[in-house]
Amino acid sequence: MDTERTTSPTRRTGLLSLTLGAASIPAALIFGLGIIPALLAIVLAARRRNPNLPRPASAGVGLALGLTGALASSLVMLALFGTLVLPRLETGMARSVIGNRLTAEFTTIQGERLDVPNLRGEPVLIDVWATWCGPCIAAMPVLERIREDTSAQVVGVTLEPESHVSRWIDERRRMTGAPGYAIVAMERDDAPGPIAGVTALPTMFILDGEGVIRDVMVGFHDYDSIRSAMDKVLDSTSGSTSGRENAR
């Protein structure tokens, strides 16, 4: 009896592991903090001085719950990093191109040629996206509203094969009628520097009427956020236009 008590995990340890494992799952939803009780549950459940003795059922369940909690916490922390931290880091790097003039010529999937310098006079929003990117797809109706509600031209640029993108867009337009703005598919090697350097999707470049990059927005943004950024560029563009007309 003494030998069994000293060599096998105690009932108390098993129950504690079970409790911690169960607590780790809801705690995982709070900034991934479930990783702490999850790891404790795993450590406690794994304690075994004599591998020939059976582990209490509560310890086994605690181990399973702990592993589940650890996985859930990891996914939550990864999601938080991807939605809160990474866009800020990417935005900081992307903003280094603000003030640069973008001179590029695009060909849409319909074969229309878009020469950015010739689009001068009104702002242009270039959205770098991908067919596999959920936030990019969620942003499409928002960008469609921007196109309809402002004088800005919206261009979606993806670095995927044109044949795949054309089929994807055709199917989506048949189902939803959108997006109605221009879509461009090109090789990364052929893309202008700011677009080729994009690593986080979606990334939006807002150009003024002179083709100068005035703002960069990384990640999904709602209508009000994009509209606010666009309005600032629209106001500055209209002011510049008025100044040139007065000078004449």
- Please say whether the beta carbons of 165 and 109 come within 8 A: yes
| Nearest Cα residue to 11 out of 35, 49, 44 | 44
What pLDDT was estimated at residue 3? 46
Would you list the domain boundaries of the chain? 2-92, 98-247
- Please say whether the beta carbons of 217 and 92 come within 8 A: no
Q: Which residue has the higher pLDDT, 49 or 63?
A: 63
| Per-residue buried b or exposed e for 163-175, using 16+ beta carbons within 10 Å of the residue's own CB | eebeebbeebeee
Q: Which residue has the higher pLDDT, 43 or 48?
A: 43
Q: Is the pLDDT of residue 155 over 70?
A: yes
Which of the listed CATH numbers 3.40.50.2020, 2.60.40.10, 3.40.30.10, 3.40.50.2000 matches domain 98-247? 3.40.30.10
Q: Is the pLDDT of residue 92 over 50?
A: yes
Q: What is the mean pLDDT of residues 226-248?
A: 67
pTM as predicted: 0.64
- Please say whether the beta carbons of 157 and 205 come within 8 A: no
pLDDT in tens, 173-220: 998 888 999 999 999 999 988 898 888 889 999 998 888 999 999 888
